[in-house]
Chain A
Amino acid sequence: MKGRAHLVGVIAVAAAIALVPFVTSNAFYLKVLFLIGVNYLAASGLNVLVGHTGQKSLGHAGLFAVGAYTVALLTARAGWNPWLAFVAAGVMAAAFGVLIALPALRVKGPALAMVTIGFGIVVEKIVSEWQDVFAGQQGIYGVVPLAIGGVRFGPREWVWFTGALALAAHLMIRALLKGKYGRAFMAVNTAEVAAESVGISVYRFKVLAFVISAVTCGLAGALIAQQNQYISSEFITFGLSIFFLLIVLFGGSSVYGPLLGAIVLTLMDAFLARWPHIQHFTYGALLLFALYVMPEGLSGAIRSAARRLFPSLTRLPPLPAVAGEWRLSSAGEAPPAERLLLEARDLYKAYGGVVPINKVDLEIRTGHIHSLIGPNGAGKTTLLNMLSGIVPADRGSIRFGGKDIGRLAPNEISRLGVGRTFQNLKLFNAMSVLDNVKVGLHTRIDAGLWTCLWGLPASARQERKAGDEALRILAFLDLSEHALERADSLPYGLQRRLELARALATHPRLLLLDEPAAGLNPHETGDLIEVISRIRDLGVTVLLIEHHMDLVMAISDHVIVLDYGEKIAEGSPANVQTNPRVIAAYLGQEDDEDAEAGGDADRGALPAVDAGGGHRG
């Protein structure tokens, strides 16, 4: 139904783009239409970066410049064919998109915004001060416009061409965002570590988002330069970067946001152009106040208004019925039990003077449930983070399934078959429960960038398959009835279980659980024991950190005890329970006056910098 409404909309817009230029021949109106198309094009890509991947860029005027000057130099100076130059503009902009993405991998949030401002300013300085090549404020004349059959584009053709380009951009970006790429961008946006833990390379997706936005901004620049047959440094200002970003923020992050933003702001811009002061003042006021009134942008405001007026719109579609129990992809070839799966030797990690992990050896065997216990601050979470690649070891080696994984990125380790959950929940909060699990299936969805970008049938097929499997996983963990709820609307215990579902979706051979029972009531803890045994029965080896000793003793085959970063004991639960060093670690030595009783005792006086586990982690 939604798909049909979209199709009708697209046809209507296409018809409007085709017909309007026949209705009016007023050059000003046609120019405004052209500008709406250009601004939409730039904003649609920027929306992927800003709205979906969460990387604020305030330097996209720089990428606009790359496209514009590529076209200008290639056609006016090097005599290239304008079409070829137009394509080259997109390619050059993509290359610069990679360049501007590099700092984004090192800094986050406001500092990144500042660095992108820096990029924009540097480009502005280069084109205005490097006169020999870029001709500064005088600009480059004689940029060759696009032409068909030797006839140069007039105002009408520009509207048609830009409209077609904008429509194509919309269709491609919509197709991309609907599937695994859209989910991966959102995952990177909400929780980078969790995205890595399911095999998504944060690095690649950030670069990809920058490249997409760079291409659309570069093409927008090329269009402007070719339509005006002129470009100068006057076009490339910080104000332009702000304007692009404002379109995205004002419009909202829905796929239709940039369209609304482009229409409203381009019209406003054209209307206010006579009074430049008021124009800029209005941008300032919009930046300041639009966010008060419409934190979700114009499209968000319209959506919530529509939901209030027509409550039927919020009704959720029925879930498809899915038959069959969920199985691991390797279920047929059940791994031989008791085989060495993961082996860590001599692991060592220090933060300054604090040594959370000191020369620890670890052996994980297939088919077992291993438990990692120890007082708060013993280094349990640090060890888990080292095994999953989040914290690099200072020394020592980790081999998983015979392969050295000590230097691999978390997403590579995940792809090899190590899944994990987090002590402090790291769900993709704004996504539905179902989509969280689908993110877990990311590496299992066999659809490439091109397939998704063009919305080929293969991508839809893969998407349906992933949806079915996600539902089976949810059924396996009794979460089916919550499938379409937002992840952060679930009660705490179910959120923990959803993390488990997401980790399972990666089809792990080894599952690392960081305090899966933290915050659960006794009843839920009982359920968890049953769930973990069922997971083991699927053929997944488990290593879990826990403070609930009843849970640990009930399900573990093997218990490893850490204290002050060192392994002080390991063996069967019964063995460990009677080990004098373990008792001393938990209850304190006899001469300790502040010893606390009970199996789950927390130690009071531990180093202030707690890099390891415990409730503070």
Chain B
Amino acid sequence: MVAILQAVLSGLALGGVYALVALGFNITHSTTKTFNFGQGEFLVAGAFVAVSGLLLLAGKGITDPLNPDDVTLLRYAGSMVISMVVLGLLGVLLYYTAVRPFVGQAGLAWVMSTIGFGIIIQNVALAVWGPSAVVMPSPLGNDVIRVFGAGILPQEIMVLVASIAVMLCIDVVMRKTKIGKAVRAVAQSMDAATLMGINVSAIVVLAFVVSSSLAGLAGLLIAPITTASVYMGLTLALKAFSAAIVGGLNNPRGCMLGGFLLGLLEALVGLWHAELREISIFMLIILVLALKPEGLLGQRQVEKV
């Protein structure tokens, strides 16, 4: 029982990270019908920029080893801002070099170009930070908190709280504010949105900025749990995309739900047979595609003939 509770809690924390990245996929996909296939590398970049941010704030060089007492809550918050801003800028660069030239071109050229962009980011990260994993201490320490007997790391609670808070924010912004309305209008029809005086290109760039910053945030949140490694991106992004498929790529709340579901599934299956984690996720995807291809909360897209 305790083991299950523990798995549920850490599964939810992991799910929060998936949900953030999945939400990022949703935001650019709904506005431009594209998304960043190199999102995993962006997540890696987010984690390493955060590490360097922490070092800078502690007055050290950006590739020095990181000690637990370098990491305070304030510096962690500061490095979060740095990481999200840097990744946001990277999102702008991605959009102008790898997405905009290819949008609407046949053969999904943007898939290749965003993968290419991701590979370049990964190799830059390799050149700067090297191939070995970096341990990022949690600002809240490593003392296990007991909840009904189950041990949970303070970082996991923070991941859960932070991801839910960010998602609530985005949900409210999308539904209640003028800019959210503009984003949804662009998602429905770019042409109509332009005619209504919405600056569509600005909204699209904004979508990539938000999506990339979310990846940055996810990297920063997950690094203290899994350590930061240049090679962790692909699987994380793939799981986040699976979450988006499961929940419904065109529904932001579906993406969040999918993230948490996947996190739970992975943690619970891992409890039983660790090597079956990835396979179970893939099976779930096949199942969802067979039964409800538009995702749990997604809307069926009717192709016009």
Is residue A230 contacting chain B, with contact meaning CB distance below 8 A?
A: no
B126 touches A54 (CB 8 A): no
A129-B111 Cα distance, complex, nearest whole Å: 29
A110 touches B278 (CB 8 A): no
A288-B41 Cα distance, complex, nearest whole Å: 15
Task: Please name all residues of chain B whose beta carbon is closer than 8 Å to the beta carbon of A130 when the two chains form the complex.
Answer: 275
Q: Which of A110, A119, A193, A277 has a CB less than 8 Å from the CB of B303?
A: A193
B279 touches A288 (CB 8 A): no
A284 touches B235 (CB 8 A): no
Task: Please name all residues of chain B whose beta carbon is closer than 8 Å to the beta carbon of A117 when the two chains form the complex.
Answer: 234, 238
Of A103, A109, A288, A381, most B-chain CB atoms within 10 Å: A288
Task: Please name all residues of chain B whose beta carbon is closer than 8 Å to the beta carbon of A351 when the two chains form the complex.
Answer: 302
A106 touches B290 (CB 8 A): yes
Is residue B101 contacting chain A, with contact meaning CB distance below 8 A?
A: yes
B305 touches A284 (CB 8 A): no
A364-B51 Cα distance, complex, nearest whole Å: 73
Is residue B105 contacting chain A, with contact meaning CB distance below 8 A?
A: yes
**Ranked 6 nearest A-B pairs via Cβ:** A287-B116, A284-B119, A288-B116, A284-B120, A106-B289, A281-B123
Chain B interface, DSSP helix/strand/loop, else mixed: helix
Interface-side segment among B164-172, B218-226, B241-249, B257-265: B241-249
Task: Please name all residues of chain B whose beta carbon is closer than 8 Å to the beta carbon of A119 when the two chains form the complex.
Answer: 282
Which residues of B in the span 117-166 have a Cβ within 8 Å of any Cβ on A? 117-120, 122-123, 126-127
Is residue B285 contacting chain A, with contact meaning CB distance below 8 A?
A: yes
Mark contacts of A482-517 with chain B using CB atoms, 8 A cut-off: 1 yes-contact digit, 0 otherwise. Answer: 000000000000000000000000000000000000
Of B123, B241, B249, most A-chain CB atoms within 10 Å: B123
Task: Please name all residues of chain B whose beta carbon is closer than 8 Å to the beta carbon of A291 when the two chains form the complex.
Answer: 102, 109, 112-113
Task: Please name all residues of chain B whose beta carbon is closer than 8 Å to the beta carbon of A611 when the two chains form the complex.
Answer: 302
Q: Which of A54, A113, A122 has a CB less than 8 Å from the CB of B37?
A: A113
Is residue B34 contacting chain A, with contact meaning CB distance below 8 A?
A: yes
Is residue B107 contacting chain A, with contact meaning CB distance below 8 A?
A: yes
Instruction: Report 14 cross-chain contacts, Cβ distance below 8 Å, ordered by A residue.
Output: A107-B245, A110-B111, A113-B111, A114-B241, A118-B242, A130-B275, A281-B119, A285-B116, A288-B112, A295-B109, A385-B305, A390-B305, A426-B305, A611-B302
A110 touches B293 (CB 8 A): no
Mark contacts of B280-303 with chain A using CB atoms, 8 A cut-off: 1 yes-contact digit, 0 otherwise. Answer: 011001100110010000000011
Also in contact, A280 and B119, with CB within 8 A (given A118-B285, A238-B234, A291-B102): yes
B278 touches A121 (CB 8 A): yes
Also in contact, A288 and B282, with CB within 8 A (given A106-B289, A111-B249): no
A596-B158 Cα distance, complex, nearest whole Å: 63
Is residue B63 contacting chain A, with contact meaning CB distance below 8 A?
A: no
Task: Please name all residues of chain A whose beta carbon is closer than 8 Å to the beta carbon of B118 when the two chains form the complex.
Answer: 284
Nearest B residue to A122, CB-CB = B282
Is residue A302 contacting chain B, with contact meaning CB distance below 8 A?
A: no
Also in contact, A287 and B119, with CB within 8 A (given A110-B108, A111-B245, A111-B249): yes
Also in contact, A277 and B123, with CB within 8 A (given A118-B242, A193-B305): yes
Task: Please name all residues of chain B whose beta carbon is closer than 8 Å to the beta carbon of A426 when the two chains form the complex.
Answer: 305
Task: Please name all residues of chain B whose beta carbon is closer than 8 Å to the beta carbon of A422 when the two chains form the complex.
Answer: 305
**Nearest Cβ on chain B to A252's Cβ, whole angstroms:** 11
Q: How large is the interface on A (under 10, 10 to 19, 20 to 34, 35 or more residues)?
A: 35 or more
B122 touches A280 (CB 8 A): yes
Which residues of B in the span 34-89 have a Cβ within 8 Å of any Cβ on A? 34-35, 37
Q: Which of A109, A122, A126, A423 has a CB less than 8 Å from the CB of B108?
A: A109
Is residue B17 contacting chain A, with contact meaning CB distance below 8 A?
A: no
Task: Please name all residues of chain A whose beta carbon is closer than 8 Å to the beta carbon of B98 when the two chains form the complex.
Answer: 288
Is residue A242 contacting chain B, with contact meaning CB distance below 8 A?
A: yes
A428-B119 Cα distance, complex, nearest whole Å: 35
Is residue B5 contacting chain A, with contact meaning CB distance below 8 A?
A: no
B245 touches A277 (CB 8 A): no
B238 touches A281 (CB 8 A): no
A157-B52 Cα distance, complex, nearest whole Å: 53
Which residues of A in the span 276-301 have a Cβ within 8 Å of any Cβ on B? 277, 280-281, 283-289, 291-292, 295
Number of residue pairs spanning A and B whose beta carbons lie under 8 angstroms apart? 117
Nearest A residue to B301, CB-CB = A108
A617-B290 Cα distance, complex, nearest whole Å: 28
Nearest B residue to A118, CB-CB = B282
B275 touches A129 (CB 8 A): yes
Nearest B residue to A410, CB-CB = B305
B112 touches A249 (CB 8 A): yes
Task: Please name all residues of chain A whose beta carbon is closer than 8 Å to the beta carbon of B101 when the two chains form the complex.
Answer: 292
A42-B305 Cα distance, complex, nearest whole Å: 36
Mark contacts of A248-292 with chain B using CB atoms, 8 A cut-off: 1 yes-contact digit, 0 otherwise. Answer: 010000000000000000000000000001001101111111011
Which residues from chain A sit less than 8 Å from chain B, CB to CB? Answer: 54, 56, 58, 102-103, 106-107, 109-111, 113-115, 117-119, 121-122, 125-126, 129-130, 193, 238, 242, 245, 249, 277, 280-281, 283-289, 291-292, 295, 351, 381, 385, 390, 422-424, 426, 611, 617
Task: Please name all residues of chain B whose beta carbon is closer than 8 Å to the beta carbon of A238 when the two chains form the complex.
Answer: 234
Nearest B residue to A238, CB-CB = B234
Of A111, A193, A285, A289, most B-chain CB atoms within 10 Å: A111
A130-B112 Cα distance, complex, nearest whole Å: 31
Nearest A residue to B109, CB-CB = A291
A424 touches B304 (CB 8 A): yes
Task: Please name all residues of chain A whose beta carbon is closer than 8 Å to the beta carbon of B194 when the two chains form the complex.
Answer: none
A284 touches B116 (CB 8 A): yes
Task: Please name all residues of chain A whose beta carbon is closer than 8 Å to the beta carbon of B293 when the two chains form the complex.
Answer: 106-107
Task: Please name all residues of chain B whose beta carbon is closer than 8 Å to the beta carbon of A288 when the two chains form the complex.
Answer: 97-98, 112-113, 116-117, 120
Task: Please name all residues of chain B whose beta carbon is closer than 8 Å to the beta carbon of A122 when the two chains form the complex.
Answer: 278-279, 282
A121 touches B235 (CB 8 A): yes
A2-B105 Cα distance, complex, nearest whole Å: 31
B123 touches A125 (CB 8 A): no
Is residue B193 contacting chain A, with contact meaning CB distance below 8 A?
A: no
A102 touches B286 (CB 8 A): yes
Also in contact, A110 and B34, with CB within 8 A (given A54-B107, A122-B282, A287-B113): yes
Is residue B232 contacting chain A, with contact meaning CB distance below 8 A?
A: no
A284-B305 Cα distance, complex, nearest whole Å: 38
New A-B pairs, 14, CB < 8 Å, besides A107-B293, A114-B238, A385-B305: A110-B34, A110-B108, A125-B278, A129-B275, A249-B112, A280-B123, A284-B118, A286-B116, A289-B116, A291-B102, A291-B112, A295-B105, A424-B304, A426-B305
**Nearest Cβ on chain B to A193's Cβ, whole angstroms:** 5
A283-B115 Cα distance, complex, nearest whole Å: 10
A611-B304 Cα distance, complex, nearest whole Å: 8
Also in contact, A277 and B305, with CB within 8 A (given A121-B234, A291-B109): no
A289-B101 Cα distance, complex, nearest whole Å: 11
A479-B118 Cα distance, complex, nearest whole Å: 49
Task: Please name all residues of chain B whose beta carbon is closer than 8 Å to the beta carbon of A115 when the two chains form the complex.
Answer: 245, 285, 289
A54-B127 Cα distance, complex, nearest whole Å: 36
Nearest A residue to B235, CB-CB = A121
**Nearest Cβ on chain B to A250's Cβ, whole angstroms:** 10
Also in contact, A103 and B289, with CB within 8 A (given A114-B238, A283-B116, A283-B119): yes
**Nearest Cβ on chain B to A83's Cβ, whole angstroms:** 32
**Nearest Cβ on chain B to A386's Cβ, whole angstroms:** 11
**Nearest Cβ on chain A to B276's Cβ, whole angstroms:** 9
Which residues of B in the span 150-208 have a Cβ within 8 Å of any Cβ on A? none
**Nearest Cβ on chain A to B184's Cβ, whole angstroms:** 16
Nearest B residue to A193, CB-CB = B305
Nearest B residue to A382, CB-CB = B305
Task: Please name all residues of chain B whose beta carbon is closer than 8 Å to the beta carbon of A249 when the two chains form the complex.
Answer: 112
Nearest A residue to B245, CB-CB = A111
A381 touches B279 (CB 8 A): no
